[in-house]
Amino acid sequence: MAVHKEENFSYRLWRYDGAPGELIPLLQSAQDHFGYIPRKAISYISGVTGIPESDIYGVITFYSQFRLRPMGKYVIKACAGTACHVSDSKTIIETIEDELGIEVGGTTEDGLFTLNTVACIGCCSLAPVIMINDDTHGRLTPASLRKLLRSYKRREKSSQGDKSAA
Amino acid sequence: MKKVIVGMGTCGLSAGARQTYERFSELLSENPGVFELAHTSCIGMCYREPLVEIREGEDRILYGEVTPELADEIYQSHIARGKILEDHVALHLGKGGAAKGSESEFYSLQNKIVLRNCGTIDPESIDEYEEKGGYRAIRKVLEEMEPAEIIGVIKESGLRGRGGAGFPTGLKWSFAAGYDSEIKYVVCNADEGDPGAFMDRSVLEGDPHSVLEGMVICARAIGASSGYIYCRAEYPLAIHRLTIAIGDAREKGYLGENILGSGFSFDIEIKQGAGAFVCGEETALFASIEGQRGMPRIRPPFPAEKGLWGKPTNNNNVETYANVPWIITNGADAYSAFGTEKSRGTKVFALAGKVVHGGLAEVPMGTSIHDLVFKIGGGIKEGREFKAVQMGGPSGGCIPAHLDHTPVDFESIPATGAIMGSGGMVVLDDKTCMVEIARFFLEFTQEESCGKCTFCRIGTLRMLEILTKITKGEGEPEDIEKLLVLGEQIKESSLCGLGQTAPNPVLSTIRYYRDEYEAHINDKKCPAGSCSALVDFLIDPEKCTGCTICAKNCPVDAITGKAKEVHVIDGSICVKCGKCITSCNFDAVYKK
């Protein structure tokens, strides 16, 4: 969620006045803008701030929020928190991997789905839980999960069909 | 006029509160002026979300599991005709009277200080916070109290840090106050990283002003002029509401230059964490605010002397700050009246796992685990057997059921080998494997270890390898001893709290459940029936439709059966890969 509308990536870069501690917010806004941190953004940030690219890369790889590759249209966040874990979230994650043919951290070839795990979504009473973009789906079983994923696939297929028809 | 208040914290929203709110909003536009519509945050009963309150004066009726359809019924019956839908009432709070309704026990055993406004006020309205007595404490400290007096009150109240370590808050403040510096910082640690803990998120979403007010009071006490809230980026709603709250507080003169005309200035900035558990450690948190890799550094110097940007800094967590305005307004004695001799006040717990009432509860320190799990928590799901509670997340340990009389406070909990932690309490039943739960936490800390200290970086990996081996049935008798030795070494040789506590989940489960470890190693059995490699995979003939999909997916052809007939798994061929479970469309495959 963007906090201020004007706080976009280029504005932040332009506004940079050498104040320390700006690197992480800059990277966050780059990722907000592009969906990931492209090679070019690292060069831009380095050019403006004078921080070596290697240091920036070090910060990017330290934090789990940052990614160096584009994400799918639907980002699945499978909760791996304690409450979900004791509700067998492992089977849930394996089911997603199986249904989509990707592993945790991967993106499907058609660019539709990216699968990640998160420490805790915070709706432990609905365990096991996943989020697909901003929608939360709880109390899942392998069967209900497959149905859910297939409904996303179907929706996507039919909307593509609409487009090609138009 | 009746006021309809929809609970819209993260838990409510994920249970569908948005649709419920929209339905009420439609009803209101069809019937303008019939009722007022508002929203609030989490009241703690996450297990009954979406919750809707109908408030009329002092009378408050909370309905649970309100779908858009039930919203219609509530409108037609309760709002239009004054007829309460008793079957759906979770809680009924009348004027002065005791709580009624199905969840009255959950509610009435609690004492709400930190959560005093959560689920009651609109967190995006500074006016509602003020109506509840908010920001009076700031006025009091600025107009009537010297900084030393503020610290005196906090010391006297007995408040101890709620992030987990329980360091006396007043004492901490006095350290930072004691260093002379033009620039000092107040930092709020809102990087709540324990999987299974969501206390701080609920406070930030439900009552952000209380945290801001606590920070201003601390700033006044130690003489700081700027502050940071370091909040997880995974909490977008909390960040959104904090941003609104900071803007409103500035506008009303509670933040910024010359607060309330006193000449004292203090402002707060939000820094979003980027996802690193170790940043909950204060020196790592400072490094992260400074824009670096969040790695801890050696103490001393302590943050009170050289913290953020090398300046004197006071760092407390969300819940600690949220207590402060209440203590200033109500006095140290009122606060220390709650709790035990050494652990004063209340503590918020996030109940999760195999407990019936998953949610948030604030109880006086010293309440027993039994009361939390059975009275407030409503017991174990599906009537299963209570096995243990896990407290303190990846830094904590398991407390077995036979110690459930243990009071929750900063002395008794560590004596069991667990830690108080920030308040995550995950309830485990007889189907939870203790070796597996230890492996789960170690996998987490192993991944989150920043890599600075060798023992934490490599030692946790070796422990994880051993635990994984045990859960796969490949454990050897000497493995338990190796885990104990490694665990002690990692604790002694790590710089920060992450490494010093990482072995706790393993050590505490070995202490109480050594027989389970031995069963995995010697008998190649998982007593809880959870570790895939050590259990049998079976097909429930009641659920199997004979669709053949499991047989097609089985990599070793262990499943036989004709189409439209019940299938059977041959245990002597099965390699326990779990493909049949994940591929079945009818949830017919199970482990035993």
Question: Which ipTM score applies to this complex?
Answer: 0.84
Structure tokens at B79: 């709002």
Say whether residue B10 is in contact with chain A using an 8 A CB cutoff: yes
Residue B424, strand partner residues: B350
Give the Cα separation of B461 and B443 in Å (integer).
Answer: 8
Angle at B152 between CA B149 and CA B157, to 5 degrees: 130
Residues of B in contact with A136 (CB under 8 A): 13-14
Residues of A in contact with B272 (CB under 8 A): 24-25, 28
Say whether residue B310 is in contact with chain A using an 8 A CB cutoff: no
CA atoms within 13 A on the CB side of B453: 25
Q: Cβ separation of B46 and A127 shorter than 8 Å?
A: no
Helix-strand-coil split of chain A, %, nearest 5: 50, 10, 40
Q: Which of A24, A27, A93, A131 to mutate to test the interface with B (most CBs of B within 10 A)?
A: A24
Structure tokens at B425: 């309490």
Residue of A nearest to B18 (CA): A135
Q: Which residues lie below 8 Å from residue B39, measured CB to CB, with a gap of 6+? A: B5, B6, B7, B8, B21, B122
Within 378-397 of B, beta carbons closer than 8 Å to A belong to 390, 393
Give the Cα separation of B369 and B399 in Å (integer).
Answer: 9
Residue keyed to tokens 């400074």: B290
Q: Which of A120, A126, A149 to mutate to test the interface with B (most CBs of B within 10 A)?
A: A120
Burial class (CB in 10 A: 0-12, 13-18, 19+), B211: buried
Q: Which residues lie below 8 Å from residue A26, measured CB to CB, with a gap of 6+? A: A9, A12, A13, A16, A45, A49
Residues A23 and A54: beta-carbon distance below 8 Å = no
Name the helix (H) or strand (E) containing B148: helix B147-157
Q: What is the pLDDT of residue A164?
A: 60
Residues of A in contact with B274 (CB under 8 A): 24, 27-28, 63-66
Say whether residue B432 is in contact with chain A using an 8 A CB cutoff: yes
Q: Which residues lie below 8 Å from residue A14, measured CB to CB, with a gap of 6+? A: none
Which residue in A119, A43, A130 sits closest to B424, CA to CA?
A119
Q: Which of B8, B14, B42, B592 to mutate to test the interface with A (most CBs of A within 10 A)?
A: B14
Residues B373 and B363: beta-carbon distance below 8 Å = no
> Whole-prediction pTM value?
0.90
CATH number given to B346-429 = 3.10.20.600
Q: What is the pLDDT of residue B491?
A: 95
What are the residue boundaries of the structural domains of chain B, listed by start?
2-108, 126-335, 346-429, 434-523, 536-591
Please name the fold of domain B2-108.
Answer: Glutaredoxin (3.40.30)
The DSSP symbol for A24 reads: H
How far apart are the CA of A100 and the nearest CA of chain B, in angstroms? 12
Query: Which amino acid, B38?
Result: A
Q: Cα B373 to chain center, whole Å?
A: 15
Q: Which of B230, B237, B355, B582 to mutate to test the interface with A (most CBs of A within 10 A)?
A: B582
Residue keyed to tokens 């332009």: A14
Q: What is the pLDDT of residue A2?
A: 40
Within 128-187 of B, beta carbons closer than 8 Å to A belong to none
Residues of B in contact with A58 (CB under 8 A): 293
Please name the fold of domain B434-523.
Answer: de novo design (two linked rop proteins) (1.20.1440)
pLDDT tens string, chain A, 166 residues long: the values are 444 444 688 888 888 888 888 999 999 999 988 989 999 999 999 999 999 999 999 999 999 889 999 999 999 999 988 888 888 899 999 999 999 999 999 999 999 999 998 877 777 778 899 989 878 888 899 999 999 999 999 998 888 776 665 4
Residue keyed to tokens 């997916």: B553
Residues B556 and B541: beta-carbon distance below 8 Å = no
Provide φ and ψ at B49, rounded to 5°.
-65, 155
Q: What is the pLDDT of residue B559?
A: 94
Give the Cα separation of B45 and B83 in Å (integer).
Answer: 24
CATH number given to B126-335 = 3.40.50.11540
How far apart are the CA of A3 and the nearest CA of chain B, in angstroms? 7
Q: What is the pLDDT of residue A165?
A: 57
Residues of A in contact with B582 (CB under 8 A): 91, 94-95, 98-99, 142
Say whether residue B288 is in contact with chain A using an 8 A CB cutoff: yes
Residues of A in contact with B424 (CB under 8 A): 82
Residue of B nearest to A91 (CA): B582
Give the Cα separation of B299 and B495 in Å (integer).
Answer: 9
From the list A64, A98, A126, the residue facing B275 with the nearest CB is A64
How far apart are the CA of A166 and the nearest CA of chain B, in angstroms? 32
Burial class (CB in 10 A: 0-12, 13-18, 19+), A71: middle
Residues B406 and B413: beta-carbon distance below 8 Å = yes
Residues B40 and B62: beta-carbon distance below 8 Å = no
Please name the fold of domain B536-591.
Answer: Alpha-Beta Plaits (3.30.70)
- Which residue stretches of chain B have pLDDT < 50? none
- Characterize the bridge pairing of strands A113-118 and A74-79: parallel
Give the Cα separation of B530 and B591 in Å (integer).
Answer: 7
Q: Cβ separation of A82 and B390 shorter than 8 Å?
A: yes
Q: Which residues lie below 8 Å from residue A137, measured CB to CB, with a gap of 6+? A: A129, A130, A131, A145, A148
Residue of A nearest to B197 (CA): A122
Query: Which amino acid, B261?
Result: G
Q: What is the pLDDT of residue A1?
A: 41
Within 551-590 of B, beta carbons closer than 8 Å to A belong to 578-579, 581-587
From the list A65, A85, A124, the residue facing B233 with the nearest CB is A65
Residues of A in contact with B289 (CB under 8 A): 21
Q: What is the pLDDT of residue A3?
A: 45
How far apart are the CA of A165 and the nearest CA of chain B, in angstroms? 32
From the list A25, A64, A129, the residue facing B276 with the nearest CB is A64
Q: Cβ separation of B236 and A1 shorter than 8 Å?
A: yes
Q: What is the pLDDT of residue A78?
A: 93
Give buried/exposed letters for B573-582 (b at 16+ CB in 10 A, else e). Answer: ebebbbbbbb
Say whether residue B301 is in contact with chain A using an 8 A CB cutoff: no
